[in-house]
Amino acid sequence: MSAGTANVLMIGDVVGAPGLRALFTFLPSLIKRTEADLVVANGENALKGFGIGADEIAAMRSYGVDVITSGNHVWEHKEAPELLEAEQSLLRPANYPKGLPGRGTAYIEGGGAPGQPAPTRACGASGRFEWLVVNLQGRRELYDIDCPFVKADQILATAAREHPNALIIVDFHAESNEEKEALAWHVDGRAAVLAGTHTHVPTADERILPKGTGYLTDLGMTGPVDSVIGMNGDICIRRFLTQIPYKMETAEGSAAIMGALFRLDPESRRCVSIEHIFESL
């Protein structure tokens, strides 16, 4: 592992079988090359572009993903409530209304996935650091769920009391760039990293905010390259031309893995560098 830094590899939305194929092809070597201590990937599109199932969770975990975050599409399939309750490594946004199944944060202490001891792990979290992974969802152009700013304050206040040494990583699944940037500034100095997901388009605005939070508006997409945000382009064009909501289908063909590596100073819990990840088949 890289001396002196804690390294978190964050992977953009995994889309269907092509996205899983890109993970299988690139993630194990990326973990080695980047000396990643923790791998977080958004998996809400892993099952044919919409939602996630038990097989997709097992595949992502076997390729080296420690925590699977999600967003609005995690509810697409009827087995979602059971999966969210049973799978400790699968998160749903923490700011959905109280009482829904699942959890919006994952605390990892001494390596291993949430709820699993370190010796069961084949790769991923090194066991050198404490981590708290937080999944939140935006409200602009999405659902009118609980305020992500208020929920972030609640989670971070609890973490300061219960896990004061944890490195806090936030996946903010949101449509609005403004909302993503605003939340990053709101948690600056309290979270080590805030990276956006959902738009499937990687942004080039990576930066370290004044109090040390590493920020990127969107990690991009891990999935088919010749596509419209991972979907079949012909169907997308037809939808725009006719305004008829034809059923979307995952595109086929070559695939890429997209994301970013954030290197953190474990003592100050500040981000010290950000590196884009993009590799294609």
Please list the active-site residues. 73
Return d(Cα 32, Cα 235) in angstroms, integer. Answer: 38
Return d(Cα 139, Cα 160) in angstroms, integer. Answer: 26
CB 216 within 8 A of CB 205: yes
Pairing outcome for strands 255-265 and 221-224: antiparallel
Q: Which residues does 98 contact at the CB level (< 8 Å), separation at least 6?
A: none
Return d(Cα 204, Cα 280) in angstroms, integer. Answer: 18
Task: List b or e across 10-40, with b for residues whose CB sees 16 or more CB atoms inside 10 angstroms.
Answer: bbbbbbbbbbbbbbebbbeebbeebbbbbbb
Question: Could you tell me the two tokens for 253?
Answer: 């063909």
Among 49, 63, 52, 61, which residue's Cα sits nearest to residue 15? 49
Among 218, 224, 231, which residue's Cα sits nearest to residue 256? 224
**∠ CA 173-72-264 to the nearest 5 degrees?**
25
Measured in whole angstroms, the distance separating CA 77 from the mean position of its chain's CA atoms is 20
Measured in whole angstroms, the distance separating CA 184 from the mean position of its chain's CA atoms is 15
Question: Could you tell me the two tokens for 150?
Answer: 């208020």
Q: Which residue has the tokens 């790769």?
A: 123
